[in-house]
Amino acid sequence: MTPRFVEVADRVYVLREPLLDVNVTLVVGDGAALVVDTLSTAGQAAELVAAARAVTPHPWTVVNTHHHFDHCFGNAVVAGDPAAPVYAHEVAAVALRDRPDEVRRAAYEEMRAARPELAAELANTRLLAPTHVVRGETVLDVGGRRVVLRHPGHGHTDADLVVHVPDADVLVAGDLVEQSGPPAFEESYPLQWPDALAEVLRLTTPGTVVVPGHGDLVDAEFVRFQHGQLAELSWLIRAGHTGGAPPERVAAEAPFGARAALAAARRGYAELDGTG
Q: Is the bond preceding 82 in cis, omega lying within 30 degrees of 0?
A: yes
Does 57 score more than 80 pLDDT? yes
The pLDDT mean for the chain works out to 97
> Is the pTM of the predicted complex or chain greater than 0.85?
yes
List phi, psi (to 5°) of 194.
Answer: -60, -40
Residue ranges per structural domain of the chain: 5-220
Q: Which fold has domain 5-220?
A: Metallo-beta-lactamase; Chain A (3.60.15)
Predicted confidence (pLDDT) per residue in 2-56, tens digit: 889 999 999 999 999 999 999 999 999 999 999 999 999 999 999 999 999 999 9
pLDDT at 2: 81
Q: In the chain, what percentage of residues exceed pLDDT 90?
A: 98
The 10s digit of each residue's pLDDT in 73-127 is 999 999 999 999 999 999 999 999 999 999 999 999 999 999 999 999 999 999 9
Q: What is the pLDDT of residue 275?
A: 86
| Per-residue model confidence (pLDDT) at position 232 | 98
CB-CB contact of 227 with 258 (8 Å) = no
Mean pLDDT of 160-187: 97
Edge-first strand order for the sheet with 12-17 is: 5-9, 12-17, 22-28, 33-36, 60-63, 86-89, 132-134
**Per-residue confidence (pLDDT) for residue 276, from 0 to 100:** 76
User: 100-111 and 116-123 are packed helices; what angle lies between their axes, rounded to 10 degrees?
Assistant: 170
More confident residue, 227 or 1: 227
